Structure 1
């Protein structure tokens, strides 16, 4: 039925018993389905090599998988062999958070991340705190850091998948007889408990303890909604405990606020708010004596001083370095370093700053050396295919300056006198492009009047081009102090979504605690830009968005205010129901794919191109 909530099956440790699992899935699907997806937590692979033949039949396509299945328990017999083979498939190249396809209908959720599943916001942490006998299946600190950063973004998380139970989840409740013994802290994870507190999911799903346990809903500190924790038994367990469970949650992003904040009568206070609850479970958690495991422990214990490591000492807070603000403030266990933030704003790689190295190597678009004050990049003007040349640029390395060796000139679509148009790196949608000043300039609002005229010509041409495709256009720009090089984002959206753009931006602003100023409501955004240019001092932080109906929404951002670096993109990703694409790194294309998109755009845009 159109508009009905997605129907999701949840499963505990599979242990390689795929025949039994999918037989049960088909039975449930036939009797009470259809279901949209299956999410598996706990160990997915067999305990021994004896189960690998059955397992391999699905991986090679001999046995079909009935519904889209996602798993995080990437450890056990044969795990290295199968996931390594999947990671090498051409279709899995690039940074993906919505699952690497192992075979048709089977997806490995690697590391940690978030993605949208039929409108549901899903977070996951793959692996465990302690590796298996082969040294596999351990999550990393970076995996946890990434989730902590994601947890600070606006929006309610619908589902959180972990392999291990969070320590203390049994607090403030009576355990069922079936779940007796689950409070043993040696088999629970304090890091998962900390993440549950920060993420505040509506559903938290875990495996590993070989029992079924549906805890009473509990309240979250600082949130209006409750969390339901569900622990699942293993497939084929001798006690015949429940290993598969169905839910049908309406995505929080589509629910009225009055429904999101409904309080079930059996709800309890948070199990993690007991005085010292998480620290207490940490003190009683068994830890291997090897140094790696001890290292793993101190990383998440904010009460202890950490050893110094990395290029600049203690680990850096990505949220602070990238946006200049961190909601945890002084409570944050990571370093808020102004000097490192300054280097980051000068295009120095965060991993290089944080760890002294970057695993992306030549694929990384950021600098892998520190920039001293007064450094200059002197580049002689280079001719382009159309015969135009550009001035020497006394600036730091910049991938938007056409004369810079870092510029990805294969993304350029059109070059005018003052502006050029280029395909966005990691585009949100097909034909997501950027309008960029040729001169190194920090924003588009303080360029010369002649440049503004050419920018207007490009914008009008793009509007006509996309109108012929039954699409409207949204323009937005994030201007912050020390902006490296201006770029106006151009995102085409379906006509059917155009009337909701203002509403969703206002909603996002309200969630972050501010209201937009409105310029030229429902009028000509050309006039709106004139007004905006007249009042912008060129020194403030400013975000503005030009709506399809001509209205301009703008907000002057205080230095201490928290506004995500990718705010405009995140809001539009929500509007288009593609939350997994809110981060451009999730949308990276191969160079061949980029070249094909560039060629397709040029062919269609040629008759509208003001620079042709």
Structure 2
């Protein structure tokens, strides 16, 4: 039997670092060693004076410490980078939300801040539907038989978590329906969050199972403020085996005090319910167009009582994010412009040289291109292959003609050693998602296989193999990126979501300039 992993979790520190680290040091010496300390509440106080000795290296932090982010505007100034940064030796801010994998194999999912009132332009101390969906996706990615995660840490309470719990009355200041939904999706063995002054430990609850199968339980624990006057518990020691290494008999062992799952209604749905229509703020990767509502069972009718004919959409090139003449295009990402197509750096790229090939005018997909545009895109592909071949890499080209209005050919280079494995890796991922991924004959033409209006996923592998899937419904939007980010290919699972890879406009401009210079010998447009 492997030795259990031991970590410490504390509530809000509010700048009382002396009390925190003195206690942690003593507990670690007496009952350790602990792998790390996790702080689920506010870390900084109103004054920065108590932090300066640690920041300057005059005082040492006894244990690797990971903290969640700010929960209000006045705390933002304490964080140099809201996507994550080291604050001092042994203290790291792990970002607004994500999945943290410890060296021991322990999986920690986390969401900092409070729920935003709107999904549009959330502030640095808020989280949105997109944030919790991203956390769910990265935890489930590549795991068709997902069992759950070890720990979920949040700055706010999930709504209704006290339902069926203890009779103890507890004061709750910040609740979130989104976090309840996330807890249902992730099935954490432990869910930690901060309390105001009162420690609260809920009786274990059985996780929801739509199939009625036996599930493991979750322990929800809210920790009081560090050094609180009421002497409520603020430091918690966890001894745990990673869920991925546990035997089913151990994982599903029942307890005598367990309760039903406290969450209900829309919290149990596989997708978050939302009344207002979302708008994507992506420019150069996986733009989500509005849903095609033509598949609804209840069809609208014309004035004659018959089914109303669908009118073809009318696109305004002035507002399209990818038509080169549009003012919406982020032109600092453009690398090379031909007569019919252009090359650009992907925003939030999986790797630094993640590219896009796009038609200059408005065209929906590779299957619907005029011959002149198709020829120039092939010329870009040829030039790109030669460029990466000189660098001992090989490009994977893929297109998702689904929930997009303008063709984007994604170009992601991979190491030559994985080229012969790519088809099998794509097929394995497709099988895990319940997708039929077909290999096309060498001389097959897309416009014959996918008539106009057909949604599809298409990939061209460095080996010359072509993979195709005719999309019917519920296709994972970032399927191509998920496969290439996997451990088997690029080993960049933490970069699978483009939002986790954004950099400043200045950095984007410099990356584009650097790539443009190195690509110039292969650029046929020069």
TM norm structure 2: 0.72
- Aligned counterpart for 1:476 among listed residues 395, 398, 404: 398
Counterparts of 1:11 and 1:502, CA distance in 2: 46
**1:84 matched to 2:76:** yes
TM-superposed CA distance for 1:205, in Å, is: 2.0
Would the alpha carbon gap of residues 217 and 425 (structure 1) be closer, same or farther in structure 2, given more than 3 Å must change? same
Asked if the contact 1:170/1:271 (under 8 Å) is kept, the reply is no
Deviations along 1:421-456, one digit per CA (max 9) or x if unpaired, are 111112121100011122321112332445434333
Matches within 5 A, 1:252-263: 255=244, 263=251
Query: Which residue matches 1:552?
Result: 466
Counterparts of 1:610 and 1:138, CA distance in 2: 43
- Aligned counterpart for 2:66 among listed residues 66, 70, 87: 70
- Aligned counterpart for 1:421 among listed residues 310, 326, 343: 343
Query: Which residue matches 1:124?
Result: 111
TM-superposed CA distance for 1:487, in Å, is: 1.1
Query: Which residue matches 1:160?
Result: 152
Matches within 5 A, 1:30-429: 32-33=32-33, 35=35, 37-46=36-45, 53-59=49-55, 62-65=58-61, 69-72=65-68, 74=70, 81=74, 83-87=75-79, 89=80, 92=81, 98-99=83-84, 102-103=87-88, 105-108=90-93, 113-118=97-102, 120=107, 122-127=109-114, 143=128, 146-147=131-132, 151=136, 154-155=140-141, 158=149, 159-163=151-155, 166=158, 183-187=168-172, 189=175, 191=177, 192-208=179-195, 210-211=198-199, 213=201, 216=204, 218-222=206-210, 226-229=216-219, 231=221, 233-234=223-224, 235-236=226-227, 243-246=235-238, 250=242, 255=244, 263-266=251-254, 271-273=259-261, 277-278=262-263, 327-328=270-271, 333-335=273-275, 395-429=317-351
Deviations along 1:340-362, one digit per CA (max 9) or x if unpaired, are 889999x9x99xxxxxxxxxxxx
Where 1:555 maps in the other structure, the secondary structure is: strand
Deviations along 1:92-144, one digit per CA (max 9) or x if unpaired, are 2xxx5x4355555544567x532444584623142489xxxxxxx9976x635
TM-superposed CA distance for 1:24, in Å, is: 5.0
Query: Which residue matches 1:535?
Result: 449
Asked if the contact 2:439/2:466 (under 8 Å) is kept, the reply is yes
**1:604 matched to 2:482:** no
TM-superposed CA distance for 1:543, in Å, is: 1.1
In structure 2, the gaps of 5 or more residues are: 117-122, 289-311
Counterparts of 1:507 and 1:27, CA distance in 2: 48
Asked if the contact 1:218/1:267 (under 8 Å) is kept, the reply is no
In structure 1, the gaps of 5 or more residues are: 130-136, 176-180, 280-300, 304-325, 351-372, 378-394, 521-526
Would the alpha carbon gap of residues 578 and 278 (structure 1) be closer, same or farther in structure 2, given more than 3 Å must change? same
Where 1:607 maps in the other structure, the secondary structure is: helix
Asked if the contact 2:206/2:260 (under 8 Å) is kept, the reply is no
Would the alpha carbon gap of residues 168 and 376 (structure 1) be closer, same or farther in structure 2, given more than 3 Å must change? closer
TM norm structure 1: 0.63
Would the alpha carbon gap of residues 184 and 498 (structure 1) be closer, same or farther in structure 2, given more than 3 Å must change? farther
Structure ranking higher in strand proportion: 2
Where 1:553 maps in the other structure, the secondary structure is: strand
TM-superposed CA distance for 1:418, in Å, is: 2.9
Query: Which residue matches 2:386?
Result: 464
Count of aligned pairs between the two proteins: 476
**1:452 matched to 2:451:** no
Asked if the contact 1:475/1:488 (under 8 Å) is kept, the reply is yes
TM-superposed CA distance for 1:236, in Å, is: 4.9
